[in-house]
Amino acid sequence: MLEQLYSILQQTLTITAFVIGMMIVIEFINVKTDGLWSSKLQTSPWAQILIGALMGVIPGCLGTYTMVSLYVHRVVNFPALMAALIATAGDEVFFMFSLFPANALKIILILFVVAIAVGAVLQMTMKDKYIGLSEKEFPLHDEPECHNHNHGHFLKEHVWNHVIKVHLPKIFLWSFSVILIITILENYIDIQGFVSDNLYIVLLLALLIGIIPQSGPHLVFVLLFSNGTIPLCILLANSIVQDGHGALPLLAESRKAFLLSKGMKIILGAAIGTIGLLIGI
């Protein structure tokens, strides 16, 4: 029990450190450039989508953490965030490239194209492109000392008052709670034991397990595909719905955006998975 608690705490601290680190970097760059880079990105929604897809295909969760941080600060919009969340497959990408590199590359390319396509459709159709956010703009803190680029101001106003006091507690508590619940469930439920010979049931499981905002449970589908037990379309459907640990900070900052993104990805994953099964991919 103590070992599991230590593991949960370690994962939580790792996630929190990554997210807070990226937020501090973003804040620092924005202050140093007087918001020039973020304002240019804010006015380039199509560039946002491309960057989102590129950040998403980076193995692991750091690219997704970055996009969530940019979204929370309204530097990028929801279509760009969705592009990142669709393109990412979390830490499972490392396993894919180690087990089946050729197919892994194929999956990544498919996710990248789908991510850009969905981002483009959302950009053209969505009215509210900042779902669940309350901040009106990136906080620049226009006090005179800000423009003097004083590092001790920077530390107090941006790092302490904004990042540490506002974001860190929420990200830490949500990450810890979700990982704790998942660990408890995994002790009583054999997820792999539910996999049956019925491919449509397996597809449904792939979609449902994809909802879990953590890398780990999705690895079962990577292994099943590696063994030839499931077709590519089921692994692809799971990869579309899941986003590793990347969406945990989004869950902490905007549950509305988290739920909407998951709902859209479930519909997309179900459609691609079903079509794949029907045509034998």
Q: What is the pLDDT of residues 88-131, one digit of tens each?
A: 998 788 888 888 999 999 999 999 999 999 999 999 999 999 99
Contact 92, 226 (CB under 8 A): no
On whether the CB atoms of residues 88 and 63 are closer than 8 A, the answer is yes
Give the residue, 232 or 216, on which the prediction is more confident: 232
Flag whether pLDDT at 184 surpasses 50: yes
Residue that wins the pLDDT comparison between 4 and 266: 266
Cβ-Cβ contacts under 8 Å for 230 (sequence gap 6 or more):
199, 202, 221, 224
Average pLDDT, stretch 9-20? 79
Question: What pLDDT is recorded for position 140?
Answer: 43
Per-residue CA distances from 36 to 33, 39, 66, 178, 247 (Å) = 5, 5, 18, 36, 27
| pLDDT tens sequence across 130-164 | 998 875 544 444 444 444 445 557 556 667 776 77
Strands (DSSP E) found in 4-122: none
- Characterize 21-58 residue by residue with b for buried, 16 or more Cβ atoms within 10 angstroms of its Cβ, and e for exposed: ebbbebbeebbeeebeebbebbeebeebbbbbbbbbbb
Which pLDDT score is estimated for 150? 54
The conformation of residue 193, written as its DSSP 8-state character, comes to G
Question: What is the pTM (predicted TM-score) of this model?
Answer: 0.75
- Taking phi first (over 0 means left), then psi (-120 to 50 degrees means alpha), and beta for anything else, what does residue 132 get? left
Rounded to an integer, what distance in angstroms lies between the CA atom of residue 135 and that of residue 73?
7
Give the tens place of pLDDT for each residue, 19-78: 677 667 766 776 676 566 677 888 899 999 999 999 999 887 778 888 998 898 888 999
Residue-wise pLDDT for 228-242, tens only, equals: 888 999 999 999 999
Q: What is the pLDDT of residue 3?
A: 85
Q: What is the reported pLDDT for 143?
A: 43
pLDDT confidence band for 263 (50 / 70 / 90): very high
**Using the 8-state DSSP alphabet, how is residue 41 labeled?**
H
CB atoms within 10 A of CB 184: 12
Asked whether the predicted pLDDT for residue 179 surpasses 90, the reply is: no
